[in-house]
Chain A
């Protein structure tokens, strides 16, 4: 397996136009992949699995499958649209009932092909566009001081692309501290 050179940089509002150009290049190979599985990690973090599905390499999780590409929304609220209509919008203040409904709705992305990924330079809005008119949209809070990334993408190259906090982004080996 080839590991691409480590890219690590910090950008700010003066040069963040690079983000909308660089991220689609890094994620180009993801386009055309099928969303094989939607899952949730601890803290109700949304995960989308793409590519080849293989069993987890942990004895207690060997019954679970994970994709060679894994997108994690971290704590960023997300929205699902279909044919331009909003199906669900999440927030950190969601009730348990709202969370359960949102989890069901976002499963509609399963088995859909990803056809585009865009990042808006100013807002860092991420739009994942799927076949059949589905979209998953993340609107990061650029003022958030939690220190968490807005979203991250684990790639088959054993690299992880992390966007946030703020305009910070990095693409580095998963083996790097």
Chain B
């Protein structure tokens, strides 16, 4: 429980996009909620995201936040 690969990808992309502190935490929740709402990724049957897709989601996250 708690997948290192997924968490490391979130942290790496958060760093790349200067998403820090509680925003990084919120970014992880945003990605999970995207899956729950049916906007998941193409990595596997669970609709996890590829690294490229996560980068796109990071841009979306920041745009929606007005950052």
Residues of B within 8 A of A57 (CB): 26
Chain A 29-54 per-residue mask, 1 if CB under 8 angstroms from chain B, else 0: 00000000001111111110000000
A152 to chain B, nearest CB (A): 8
Residues B6 and A42 in contact, CB atoms below 8 Å apart: yes
- Shortest CB–CB separation between residue A81 and chain B, in angstroms? 16
Which of chain B's residues has its CB closest to A175's CB?
Answer: B21
User: Given contacts A41-B32, A56-B26, A64-B33, are A148 and B4 in contact (CB under 8 A)?
Assistant: yes
Residues of A in contact with B, size category: 35 or more
Interface residues of B in 4-61 (CB under 8 A from A): 4-8, 10-11, 20-22, 25-26, 28-33, 35, 46, 61
Q: Which residue of A lies closest to B3 (CB)?
A: A43
Expressed in whole angstroms, the Cα–Cα distance for A107 and B1 within the complex equals: 15
| B contacts with A, residue count (CB < 8 A) | 26
Task: Tell me whether B28 and A58 are in contact (CB under 8 A).
Answer: no
Q: A43 with B6: in contact, given A91-B1, A176-B21, A177-B20 (CB under 8 Å)?
A: yes
Q: Is the CB of B2 within 8 A of A74?
A: yes
Q: Does A84 contact B (CB under 8 A)?
A: no
Chain B residues with CB under 8 A of A66: 29
A43 & B10 in contact (Cβ 8 Å cutoff): yes
- Taken residue by residue from 73 to 93, chain A's Cβ proximity to chain B (1 for < 8 Å, 0 otherwise) reads as 111111000000000001110
Residues of B within 8 A of A (CB): 1-8, 10-11, 20-22, 25-26, 28-33, 35, 46, 61, 64-65
30 contacts between A and B (CB under 8 A): A41-B29, A42-B6, A42-B7, A42-B10, A42-B29, A42-B32, A42-B35, A43-B2, A43-B5, A44-B1, A44-B2, A47-B29, A58-B61, A58-B65, A59-B64, A59-B65, A60-B64, A61-B26, A70-B25, A74-B7, A75-B2, A75-B3, A77-B1, A77-B2, A94-B1, A102-B1, A147-B8, A160-B21, A175-B20, A177-B20
Q: Which 8 A-B pairs have the closest CB atoms?
A: A43-B6, A174-B21, A90-B1, A75-B2, A41-B28, A42-B31, A42-B32, A75-B4
